[in-house]
Amino acid sequence: MENCYRKILKAIGEDEAREGLIKTPARAAKAMKDLTSGYDMDLHTVINGALFEAETDGMVIVKDIECYSLCEHHLLPFTGKVHVAYVPDKHILGLSKVARVVDMYARRLQTQERLTQQICDALEEVLCPKGIGVIIETHHFCMMMRGVEKQHSSAITSAVKGLIKKDSKTRDEFLHLVS
């Protein structure tokens, strides 16, 4: 990967031997490996048995989870926050595991739409809840720094299943609590 970054530096007209750039290919390769570390993660390893017997049927919400990902179209970041809610059936999940699942999928080349669905599907698989909802709000650098250059634009995506999708009162509660 370092050699590829050297070639990129050369292709844009830079001198890869310049003092400030000598270690850049190694740093960039290390950064890219970190930014795409989700490919090395597995859902069940991330969850690591942190399922507990549900003692409630009330909605569980983890909101404002920081999200950093790379747009698969331009390899530029998109950043924002993720809100996850579920109505437990038999199990609840350790709260930090929700954020870890978000990171696992966000640390891959992504579209926001797919990321939203992947988080929803993964948590549904692990929890088998009565209902689940995921909302992601982000700012895409590919829209802010290039192309249309709309610095104040944002994107919002959602995925809902089960009770949160079918029952309007539950969906309204979800939307109210994450707004």
Residue whose C-alpha is closest to residue 112's, from 87, 141, 85: 141
Find the distance separating the first CA and the last CA of the chain, reported in whole Å. Answer: 41
Q: Point out the residues that are catalytic.
A: 71-74, 112, 140, 142
Q: Give CA–CA dist 152/95, Å, rounded.
A: 31
Here the tokens at position 34 are 């970190």
Q: Give CA–CA dist 140/158, Å, rounded.
A: 16
Helix (H) or strand (E) run with residue 98 in it? helix 95-106
Q: Within 10 A of 97 (CB to CB), how many other CB atoms are there?
A: 18
Q: Give CA–CA dist 58/67, Å, rounded.
A: 26
DSSP helix/strand/coil, 161: strand
